[in-house]
Amino acid sequence: MACTHMTVAGSSAAAFTNSASRCFSSTDKIEPSSFGPPRIWGSTLSSLSSVCPSQLRVSRVKSLSIRRSVISPVVRASQGPSERSYVMIKPDGVQRGLVGEIISRFEKKGFTLIGLKLYTCSSELAKEHYKDLSSKPFFPKLVEYITSGPVVCLALKGPGVVASARKLIGATNPLQAEPGTIRGDLGIETGRNVVHGSDSPENGEREIALWFKEDEVCEWEPSMMPWLRE
């Protein structure tokens, strides 16, 4: 380390230059420790204290030589089983301007977004998507609601993403959904409950195939994965 990289209290710059030349050899350098303050390599504290003036105090270091291994550790995430889930922000969520907030909740959880689009749903697609509810008396109104405006389609990927996304979304009836869930925080009634999420890994695959073309899904591995799972 060059002496000009330090601000010295209690000594003139010239005196410090002369004194410091005895304290540090040309091969000495200061590097950070992973478990504490910077350490001096090539000298010991005892040898420094015996050579350096007792009144010499280094108050600020402007530059350090940092080993790359300290700031860029080599970590690999294990490749655990991943699932895919379909999440849809319904017309009321889009109209209320909640798209960004809802997507952010899933991303902050650590899910990987592999598909995203704004889409106007046809009656045929809505009926196919909700075909398991076709015998319910509210089915016609459900189809009308889903086709009343654009929706935002999400394809998410990650370990346990289906069950975890369902927990984030909350109970079907927003009044029964826990605070902190999307429906608990943003919804009021079942007929306007903001968002849909796949209820099983099998339905996740079926719904992604229903709403996305093959080339609209981008499989990728984010660099943050080592910090999300072992």
pLDDT in tens, 175-197: 999 999 999 999 999 999 999 99
- The answer to the question of residue 100 being in a domain is yes
pLDDT at residue number 229: 79
pLDDT band at 225 (very low <50, low <70, confident <90, very high): confident
Report the chain's mean pLDDT, rounded to a whole number.
79
**Separation of alpha carbons 31 and 41, rounded Å:** 7
Same domain? For 116 and 160 the reply is yes
Looking at the structure, tell me whether residues 190 and 126 fall in a common domain.
yes
Distances in whole angstroms, Cα of residue 108 to Cα of each of 79, 156, 157, 208: 20, 12, 13, 21
Residues 97 and 197 occupy one common structural domain: yes
pLDDT value for 227: 86
Last residue of a domain, one of 24, 48, 71: 71
Look at residue 194 in the predicted model and tell me its pLDDT.
98
Domain that holds residue 166: 83-219
CB of 225 closer than 8 Å to CB of 208: no
DSSP codes, 134-148: TTSTTHHHHHHHHTS
Domain boundary among 71, 100, 130: 71
Catalytic residues: 196
Task: Determine the 3-state secondary structure of 53 from DSSP.
Answer: coil
Residue in the structure block whose two tokens are 């196919």:
128
Q: Which residues are annotated as a binding site for ATP?
A: 90, 138, 166, 172, 183, 193
Same domain, 58 and 94: no
Task: Show binding-site residues.
Answer: 90, 138, 166, 172, 183, 193
Instruction: Write out pLDDT tens, residues 39-76.
Output: 544 444 444 444 454 444 544 545 445 444 443 444 44
